Amino acid sequence: MTSTPIRYRLAVASRAVAAIAGGYAVAALSAAALALALPAWTGMARSEAVLTGTLASFAVFAGAVMWVFAARTALRAWAGLALSAAVLALPVLLLGGGGA
C-alpha cells in the first residue's frame, strides 16, 4: 500500500480522540446538564430529569461523533466540541453542587 502522508494520519488520530474522548465528555456533560436544568427550569422531578438526561446522552454522543467527522477540519471539530462543552457546563456549574 502507498504510504499515507503523516499529516493525514495525525488528522485522523486527532479526530478519533476528539470523537471518542471529546464526544464522551460532551455526552456526559449533557446528561449532567439536563439532570440539573430540567428540575430547575421545568419543575420536573429530579429522578425523572436524571433518567431523561441519561437516556438522551447516547444520542448526543452519536451526534458529537458525526460532527467530528463531518467538520471540515480537525480544528473545527475540536472547536465545535469545546463550544458545546462550554455551553453544557454552564448549568452544571451554576446549578450543581448542592444548592437549587
Residue whose CB is less far from another protein, 40 or 82 = 40
CB-based burial, 51-76: b 16+ in 10 Å, e otherwise = eebbeebeebbeebbebbeebeebee
List the interface residues with another protein, window 24-63 (CB under 8 A). Answer: 27-29, 31-32, 34-36, 39, 45-55, 57-59, 61-62
Q: Applying CB under 8 A, what is the total number of residues that bind another protein?
A: 41
CB of 17: closest distance to another protein in angstroms?
14
